[in-house]
Amino acid sequence: MGKPTGFLEYERQCGPVVAPADRIRDFKEFHKELPLEEQRLQGARCMECGVPFCQAGVMIAGMASGCPLHNLVPEINDLVYHGNWEQAYVRLSKTHCFPEFTSRVCPALCEAACTCGLHSAPVSTKENERAVIEYAYANGLVKADAPKVRTGKKVAVIGSGPAGLAAAQQLNRRGHSVTVYERSDRPGGLLRYGIPNMKLEKSVIDRRIKLMEESGIKFVCNVNVGKDITGKELLKQYDRVVLACGASNPRDIKVPGREAKGIRFAVDFLSEVTKTLLDSDFTKIPYELAKGKNVLVIGGGDTGNDCVGTAIRLGAASVTQLEMMPKPPECRAQSNPWPEWPKVLKTDYGQEEAIDQFGHDPRIYQTTVTEFKKNKDGNVCAAKIVSLTPKKDEKTGRMNMVPVEGTEKEIPVDLVLIAAGFLGSEVYVPDSFGVKCNGRTNVDTKSGEYQTSAERVFTAGDMHRGQSLVVWAIAEGRAAAKAVDESLMGYSEL
């Protein structure tokens, strides 16, 4: 422990953030980094607890507490404090494939479980992690790691999101020949097209993909496995297959008027914006998608927030965000003690920008849509909404959100973005391999395992566990790679 009194001497300090009024002018990342000397002092705040919940990654009350990757958090923070950035990178690399991704988009499960956060502000582990990996890139420490010996075994990874990339990297390091198939025009999956550029600049992905290619991993884009090529054909070419296609089946809103034009799934909208930016090298911004429009976002999660921030950058006249559940408390409830994940109110960057632009929080809690209206041209022009209230189901004991009579009202709407979550994987891929899915349409495996019902076919990430976080996808990709390696070699050193 580098500084036993560090958590008493230093306040939590994060890198500067570009003001909302300025950052909405472009799609660049707006979270900046502290100078290394200042970041070093943040490492001193780590208490190096006897029981480091930050790296536990255990489930408490149905929620993750600490990092699922089991990063060596106290060790890394200590090395950060001592300014030993190279060794900090070595420690981080033992458990983590892509710190540059999670240090930008992860909600920081490690910080939520930090002991220092019980009575004060938690250690800024996420920003420490970003400082470590960016130092490593800037100083040539992150290199292509082609294996010295190849095993002669071939593995196909279907999907190039965080789970697929993690599995591919680990299997390639072991010496297997890995080919990654991606149905989009560029690798990255959710990282590329599901997360806006201002949260994760795509050059960060390209930087990593280039190193993976130099390490011997082959990427094949614009191939939709299950349609352009069958599972049977792939199993003839490869010794093992890993399905990592994500939970890409969006939950719909089935109400009257749903067929109106201008009602879109959130990820389709975000993907179109990002693709337009990338195809034009950021010279064309697709203002026509939202400029001057009253935008309604249905869903209060991360994707809904990304839609709010994106619509504002595209010149929306107004943005309203509906959330079915009650407004969370600002502080932990007694029923939600540390180190559980804090179920408290979070105002994210999109909501901050809406408050700055329109003078109020865009979120309306305990509200849902009952009907969409369209004009003579078939375009959506209004939405009927109704307030909800919790009511206990006497038969099941569950609390349901039910409409409150007399609270219906109509709001003008020109664009609707449905960000209501996902229902599991798109079944045509597992069907092509003869793989069974469970009732949630996730690929079925035994508990804690990654082998599917089909011989030589494995799975990982959201396709396996359902809609989740990038950090969980990376953890699953690593674990699936180990399972594949064991099935090929009889043992694994991964």
The single-letter code of the amino acid at 159 is G
Q: What is the pLDDT of residues 449-490, one digit of tens each?
A: 999 999 999 999 999 999 999 999 999 999 999 999 999 999
d(Cα 280, Cα 291) in Å, to the nearest integer? 19
Give percent of the chain with pLDDT exceeding 90: 93
Q: Cβ–Cβ contacts within 10 Å for residue 322, how many?
A: 25
Whole-angstrom CA distances from 71 to 14, 75, 76 are 20, 9, 8
Q: 200-254, pLDDT tens digit by residue?
A: 999 999 999 999 999 999 999 999 999 999 999 999 999 999 999 999 899 999 9
User: For residue 220, what are its two tokens?
Assistant: 């094949």
CA distance linking residue 188 with residue 209, whole number of Å: 8
Residue holding tokens 């690593």? 478
- Taking Cα atoms as reference points, which of 183, 148, 187 lies closest to residue 168? 187
Is residue 415 scored above 70 in pLDDT? yes
Cis amide linkage into residue 339, ω under 30° from 0: yes
User: Which residues share a beta bridge with 461?
Assistant: none
**Which residue(s) pair with 254 in the sheet?**
none
Helix (H) or strand (E) holding 386: strand 380-392
pLDDT tier for residue 1 given thresholds of 50, 70 and 90: low
Q: Is pLDDT of 134 > 90?
A: yes
Tell me the pLDDT of the chain averaged across its residues.
Answer: 96
If you average pLDDT over residues 104-125, what whole number do you get? 95
pTM reported for the whole predicted model:
0.96
Q: Name the class of domain 6-138.
A: mainly alpha
The share of the chain scoring above pLDDT 70, in percent, equals 100
Tens-digit pLDDT profile for residues 58-96: 999 888 899 999 999 999 999 999 999 999 999 999 999
Q: What is the largest CA-CA distance in the chain?
A: 71
Do residues 307 and 289 lie in contact, with contact meaning Cβ atoms separated by under 8 Å? no
Token pair for 493: 């050193």
Class of domain 263-418 (CATH, top level): alpha beta
Q: What is the mean pLDDT of residues 270-279?
A: 98
Q: How far apart are CA 180 and CA 218, in angstroms?
A: 6
Query: H helices of 359-403, where?
Result: none
Using DSSP bridges, classify how beta strands 218-221 and 380-392 pair: parallel, antiparallel or unpaired. Answer: unpaired
Q: How many residues does the chain have?
A: 494
Question: Residue 242 phi/psi, 5° resolution?
Answer: -115, 120
Smallest Cα–Cα separation from 408: which of 371, 375, 434, 445? 371
As a three-state string, the secondary structure of 349-399 is HHHHHHHHHHCCCCEEECEEEEEEEECCCCEEEEEEEEEEEEEECCCCCCE
Contact yes or no for 350/356 (Cβ under 8 A): no
Within the chain, which residue ranges are assigned CATH 1.10.1060.10? 6-138
* CA-based nearest residue to 211, from 244, 165, 175, 177: 165
d(CA 362, CA 350): 9
> CATH 3.50.50.60 residue ranges in the chain?
154-248+445-489, 263-418
Reported as a single tens digit per residue, the pLDDT across 354-380 is 999 999 999 999 999 999 999 999 999
Query: Angle 162-174/202-214 helices, nearest 10 degrees?
Result: 20
At the top level of CATH, which class does the domain 154-248+445-489 belong to?
Answer: alpha beta
Is 90 exceeded by the pLDDT of residue 396?
Answer: no
* Identity of residue 410: E
